Amino acid sequence: MSQPIRVVVWGENFHENHDEPVREIYPDGMHTAIAEGIRTHLGEGAEVETRVLQDDSQGITDELLASADVLLWWGHARHDEVSDETATRVQRAVQSGLGLIVLHSGHHSKPFIQLMGTSCNLDWRGSDDRELVWTVDPSHPIAQGVPHPIVIDSEEMYGEPFDIPAPDQLIFVSSFSGGEVIRSGATWTRGRGRVFYFRPGDQEYPTYFHPDVRRVIANAVQWVAPANGRQAPVVNRRPAGWFETGERLEAADPRLQV
């Protein structure tokens, strides 16, 4: 893209305001740390802003989504407070070409569940596990410039079974100290939009300052960004031979009212 990628980082912003250990790690909020990582790697190639659940309209408006190229989503303790209207707004924007990156516990967010069509349930344990993020598709652009494996000394464990549809592309799998594994970096296409889920990032750990995690997220921003603009999928009723004559039916055409 010749123009800077327009990026919105959305954060639930609950733990940072209610849990002192989280506030000590992320005094300016997790969303700010995520945004800083993108700016560090992409520089003038991205225009990054942040929104949080406590903002007007829960930080998500039609105008914001229409002007964005990429939305990143982190949520955990307040999934139910996100309105169905907001979730559907995000879903429709993705189907029109908005790139979506869902981080860590955002697997249980309303927008992700609506886009996946499954429960997105998984196993978990909060016990300072070491996470190794193994690259299984080194040719993918999201995996460029990251070590194999990425070593995260302390993290929450997520494990299979992970109730998601079969990914279009599986890029990373993670293993943990207890022996569990999970598909931790995967992509899907929904309508015209690309979706990437990336597992690391529990609020109790400084994961979003990890240089390799930041590199993956920045790579993902570039990959999910729409290459050819945005357009919502539409239903077209075509007159016979339209591809030869170039005829189009306007919205007011009576043939569309049948």
* Domain limits, the chain: 5-121+182-256
How high is the pLDDT of residue 256? 59
How high is the pLDDT of residue 1? 46
Class of domain 5-121+182-256: alpha beta
Q: Which residues of the chain have pLDDT under 70?
A: 1, 249-258
How high is the pLDDT of residue 243? 84
The full 3-state SS of 102-142, as one line of letters, equals EEHHHHHCHHHHHHHCCCCCCEEEEEEEEEEEEECCCCCHH
- The mean pLDDT of the chain is 94
How high is the pLDDT of residue 75? 96
Q: What's the token pair of residue 219?
A: 């790579």
How high is the pLDDT of residue 2? 73
Report the alpha-carbon distance of residue 254 to residue 258 in Å, rounded: 7
